[in-house]
Structures are given as structure tokens and as C-alpha cells.
């Protein structure tokens, strides 16, 4: 039992932490490039996960397969063109996750090209590594698609606020304090996950992993407890 939990933790934790860390660093880096140095001044432009970890979000990652980090602070007023630049700051996180999923799928394809009879030592390394990059494909696509839901405070909501005319953008901004409650209701009490997010996720996995999609789905079904 303990060995099984530790094995699953070792598979999920590294790619999961990398996914949420890179997501937040991307927000902070683009904000810095567009005029807001807040994340840089606070030491958040680092891949050190300890700077980004949210304890509850990390527990959710290893228990249910999706989690989050501490949001990188962005002072919108510091941006050179706040409304337009916030679109790029917001989209940077999901785009980074999609790029990580693409790279992970490429690594997975390369690993699985190694002949099965290449030696016990090589298989001892490559099998858990293949599970890790398979989980990386899954978790990065899930984070990207989930965060693109057009409801603030998710990234998709901020992107939509930046694209809408000022009056409609201000109206959407007013729901941000209640956004997480609305998102929880949508995800857990409506079929949005089953009929929207899940088909997108499956299509993305099949597109990137191709013949190895079944391995990704198998690893994605891991539960630590």
C-alpha cells in the first residue's frame, strides 16, 4: 500500500509541480516584459516550486489530479497598455502549459520507440519516465483548457475582459469576486466537464500522443489514495 502511494506520488508530483510553476512564471515574466516588475521584485520569476506552492492546491494535485499554485501578483496599472497587455499576461499561462504538453508528448514518443528488450537497467529508468511524461501531457492540457474557461478569475475570463469593449468588460469584472463559486458550481454540478472539457482534453491527448494516448489515459486515472 505505502509503496503504491509513493510510486504514484513520484509519477505525479514532479510533472504536476512543473506544470503549475511554469504556468505562474509565464504570467509573471510576460507582465514584467510589459511593464510590471512586481513578480520579479518578489522573486517569483523562478522555477523553484517552493516559491509558488499552495499547500491545498498541491494536495488536490496528488489526490484528484488537478491543482494550482499561488497566483503571481500582477499590478495592472503598471502595464503600459493595461487592457490589451493583460490579455497577453493572462494567455501566457495556458499557452505555456500547451507547449509543455507538446514537448512531453514528443519525449513520450521517443521513449516508447526504445525496443522493449533493451536491458533491465534501461527499462527500469524508462518505464517510470514514460509515466511521468504521460502524466505531464495530461496535466498540462487539463490546466490549459480549465484555465481558458472565460470566467474571471480564470485566465480565460481575464482574456475575455481584455477583448470586450469597456462597458461589457467592466460588467464581467464585477462577477470576479464570485467567480470561483460559479466555476465550482459549473464543474461539479453541471455537465460542462463531461461535455466540454473532457472531449477537448481527450482530443488534445489523442492529437499529441497519437498511438500512445491509452498510456496517457491510464496514467491520468492514477489516484494516490
* 121 annotated active-site: no
**d(Cα 156, Cα 142) in Å, to the nearest integer?**
14
Q: What distance in Å separates the CA atoms of residue 72 and residue 92, rounded to the nearest whole number?
A: 12
Q: Decide: helix, strand or coil at residue 152.
A: coil
Are 150 and 116 spatial neighbours (Cβ–Cβ below 8 Å)? no
Phi-psi region of 134 (alpha: psi -120 to 50; beta: other; left: phi over 0): alpha
With contact defined as beta carbons under 8 Å apart, do 169 and 110 qualify? Answer: no
Long-range residue pairs from 57-62, CB within 8 A, at least 24 positions apart, any chain: 57/20, 58/16, 58/17, 61/12, 61/13, 61/16, 61/17, 61/20, 61/139, 62/8, 62/9, 62/12, 62/13, 62/16, 62/224
Burial class from Cβ neighbours inside 10 Å (0-12, 13-18, 19+) for residue 150 reads middle
Q: How many CA atoms lie within 13 A of 214 on its CB side?
A: 2
Cell of 81: 497598455
Q: 24, 77, 121, 176: which is the annotated catalytic residue?
A: 24
Give the residue numbers marked as catalytic: 24
Amino acid at each position: 500500500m505505502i509503496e503504491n502511494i509513493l510510486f504514484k506520488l513520484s509519477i505525479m508530483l514532479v510533472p504536476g509541480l512543473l506544470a503549475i510553476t511554469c504556468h505562474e512564471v509565464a504570467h509573471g515574466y510576460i507582465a514584467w516584459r510589459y511593464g510590471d516588475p512586481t513578480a520579479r521584485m518578489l522573486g517569483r520569476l523562478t522555477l523553484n516550486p517552493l516559491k509558488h506552492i499552495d499547500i491545498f492546491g498541491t494536495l488536490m494535485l496528488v489526490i484528484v489530479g488537478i491543482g494550482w499554485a499561488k497566483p503571481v501578483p500582477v499590478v495592472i496599472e503598471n502595464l503600459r497598455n493595461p487592457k490589451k497587455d493583460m490579455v497577453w499576461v493572462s494567455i501566457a499561462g495556458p499557452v505555456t502549459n500547451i507547449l509543455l504538453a507538446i514537448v512531453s508528448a514528443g519525449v513520450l514518443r521517443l521513449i516508447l520507440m526504445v525496443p522493449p528488450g533493451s536491458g533491465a537497467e534501461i527499462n527500469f529508468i524508462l518505464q517510470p519516465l514514460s509515466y511521468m511524461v504521460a502524466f505531464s501531457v495530461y496535466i498540462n492540457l487539463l490546466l490549459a483548457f480549465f484555465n481558458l474557461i472565460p470566467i474571471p478569475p480564470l485566465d480565460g475570463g481575464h482574456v475575455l475582459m481584455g477583448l470586450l469593449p469597456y462597458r461589457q468588460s467592466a460588467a464581467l469584472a464585477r462577477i470576479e469576486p464570485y467567480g470561483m463559486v460559479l466555476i465550482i458550481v459549473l464543474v461539479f454540478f453541471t455537465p460542462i466537464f463531461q461535455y466540454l472539457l473532457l472531449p477537448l482534453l481527450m482530443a488534445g491527448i489523442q492529437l499529441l500522443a497519437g498511438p500512445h494516448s491509452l498510456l496517457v489515459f491510464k496514467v491520468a486515472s492514477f489516484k494516490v489514495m
